Amino acid sequence: MKFRAAGATAAALLSATIIAAAPVWTAQLTGVPARLRGISAVSQKVAWASGTTGTILRTTNGGDSWEPIRVPGAETLDFRDIDAISDKTAYALSIGNGEASRIYKTSDAGKTWSLQLANKDPKVFLDAMAFWSEDRGVPFSDAVDGTFAIFMTTDGRAWTLIPADHLPPALPSRSAMRSTARSRSS
């Protein structure tokens, strides 16, 4: 009987610990009507978000407030992905066929943006990107003529399309869309 009571007490404590350790979601008011599609956190305080109608947001206080950041000439773009490297540096990827698929970069917390990749192929529809450092990253597209279009950069400025014969074929009728929430520890 003593062991049964001890076991029940241990189970209750374990359950309480698990419940106490569960993540807590907190609603964030951004002040923008856009549909947000991407988020990238670099610390507990700094995160970047992206969305429709050229929306880029940045918080430096853990989401207590969000600063809207304008990317000149991108007001109609749909920013599906954002990859924050630091509190000052981020890449933003817009989606769409052909020239609507672009990548912009800021290194001064969004004060200025440079167009890094301007897609010219009308069949390419960039979906997402991933960066390992400020200089090394890959964006990719839905399949084009049976192969995924994957670009790469090793300096954060110049982008190269990986040749199709270096990639496996895409399965028929496949696309590459994915969600883009991720975080980095600082």
CATH of the domain at 131: 2.130.10.10
Confidence (pLDDT) at 76: 95
By DSSP bridging, strand 160-161 and strand 67-69 are unpaired
What value, to the nearest 5°, has the Cα angle with vertex 59 and ends 57 and 62? 140
Please tell me the distance from the alpha carbon of residue 79 to that of residue 71, in angstroms, as a whole number. 11
Taking the C-alpha atoms of residue 39 and residue 46, their distance in angstroms, rounded to an integer, is 11
Q: Pick from 166, 164, 181, 168: which is nearest to 123 by CA?
A: 164
- Asked if residue 161 belongs to a domain, the reply is yes
Residue 103 inside a domain? The answer is yes
- The phi and psi torsions of 103 (rounded to 5 degrees) equal -130, 130
Domain carrying residue 78: 26-177
- The order of strands in the sheet holding 137-144 is 126-131, 137-144, 147-152, 160-161
The tally of domains found in the chain comes to 1
> Residue 29 is which amino acid?
L
Q: Is residue 36 part of a domain?
A: yes
pLDDT of residue 28: 78
Q: How far apart are CA 26 and CA 50, in angstroms?
A: 18
pLDDT at 62: 92
92 falls within a domain: yes
> Is 112 domain-assigned?
yes
pLDDT value of position 2? 46
Q: What is the pLDDT along the chain (186 residues), one digit of tens a residue?
A: 444 444 444 344 444 445 556 777 777 788 888 899 999 999 999 999 999 999 999 999 999 999 999 999 999 999 999 999 999 999 999 999 899 999 999 999 999 999 999 999 999 999 999 999 999 999 988 888 888 889 999 998 899 999 988 888 887 765 665 444 444 443
Q: Is there a domain that residue 87 lies in? A: yes
Q: Is 7 domain-assigned?
A: no
Spatial CA neighbour of 67 closest among 85, 83, 88, 94: 88
